[in-house]
Amino acid sequence: MDNSKYILPPTYSGKMRFRARTAILILVVAAVASVFSTSIAYQTVRNDGRMPDAVALAVLNSSFWFGWAALALPLTALSARWRIDRTPRIAIPLHILAALAAGALHVCLQTTTQSALFVRSMWLKGDGSGVLAAFADRWAVAFPAQLLQLIDWELLAGMGAVALAHAVFYYREMQQRALREAQLETRLVEAQLTALQHQLQPHFLFNTLHAISALMHRDVNLADKVLVRLSDLLRITLESGGEKEVRLSRELDFIRSYLEIEQTRIGDRLTIDINIDANTLDLWVPTLILQPLVENAVKYGVAPHVGPGRIEIGASRRAGLLTLTVSDNGPGPVTVERVRPGGIGLTNTRGRLLHHYGDRGELKIERRPDGFTAQITFPCRN
């Protein structure tokens, strides 16, 4: 079986989309934070009775947040390359050094922005001479002071970016792991269903061939007729192409062909009554879900007894559930052991219902005063 349709490996395009989404998310967060912090700063200055410079506040706050947004990108890439959970001895000191470097660059950016805003204010006041020297002098004084003052907070911010990147990676891997587990579980269920179906078909075929072998010693012509019916039955089975589900109408075609074989073998004492609600014929049912129940009815309810036997097959739909019944009037023993609840047919039927429908699929075997009834119930599917 080709595993590629069940397990989705990460692709280059998938990684690129993830990185693009991450970058966009970082930029959006930086933009929102810039607007919010600028608004707070503007209102604070006004509350102090001063006239706020909206442009300067916007530039200063934007440089702060977008600066960290730009620095978060290489920190995220480094986190993807050196995961703390995989190579902690290398990754931890490497990320600390990277966070320190990012913090220093961020202080440098902030100092540069502040110095630029300072010379801008000089320019607006009409003092445009020596702005470059003023910029350099202010930057040279402010950078070392702010670096010593803010490096601990900058380090925390850088490590926070690293921690957030790891959290995103863990979350993404958790989702991929859950997807792989669900796909593997689906694959296991399908394999089990296939095994059950493959186990059932040879069981039915061997039983029919055994019946033909017995007829060859009594009535060759009758055995020949049964062989013709069996070939028709096998053709219907092969046309299913290994389908796990078929329409109920198609399932009934198979059952009718099977019962024709049994009527040829048993004779006129077998009567069949099929009573199917018309609104159920197009519903999907598991392939060969009725066959083991009908086989049990024939084998244990009709064939061993001398008198006339009757098999009734019904289907009804109610409250979103489809109910299929197979009843016979065979006297048999007074307990349900005659239906061999541990046999291949019924064991597979229960297993297939469990895999298809979980606890909403059910098989019941009931002893009645005039025979036995097997009833299957499961959710309708059009």
Give me the residue spans of the domains in the chain.
3-183, 219-379
**Contact residues for 190 (Cβ-Cβ < 8 A; gap 6+):** 244
pTM for the full predicted model: 0.48
Position 15 pLDDT exceeds 70:
no
Lowest mean pLDDT among 143-147, 228-232, 343-347: 343-347
Rounded to whole angstroms, the Cα distance separating 261 from 272 reads 12
Question: Which is more confident, 380 or 347?
Answer: 380
CATH number assigned to the domain covering 219-379: 3.30.565.10
Q: Return the amino acid letter for 340.
A: R
pLDDT, residue 320, reads 92
Position 5 pLDDT exceeds 50:
no
Lowest mean pLDDT among 52-61, 193-202, 274-283, 349-358: 193-202
What is the pLDDT confidence band of residue 311, given thresholds at 50, 70 and 90? very high
Question: Long-range contacts made by residues 167-171, C-beta under 8 angstroms, separation at least 24?
Answer: 168/22, 169/79, 169/80, 169/83
pLDDT, residue 6, reads 40
What is the C-alpha R_g of the chain? 39
Rounded to whole angstroms, the Cα distance separating 194 from 352 reads 10
pLDDT digits (tens, 9 = 90+) for 121-156: 777 766 666 677 778 888 888 888 888 888 888 888
The closest alpha carbon to 164, from 93, 84, 64, 106, belongs to 84
Count of positions (residues) in the chain: 382
pLDDT digits (tens, 9 = 90+) for 276-286: 999 999 999 98
**Contact residues for 37 (Cβ-Cβ < 8 A; gap 6+):** 61, 64, 65
- DSSP state letter for 58: H
Q: Answer for the pair 328, 321: CB distance below 8 angstroms, yes or no.
A: no
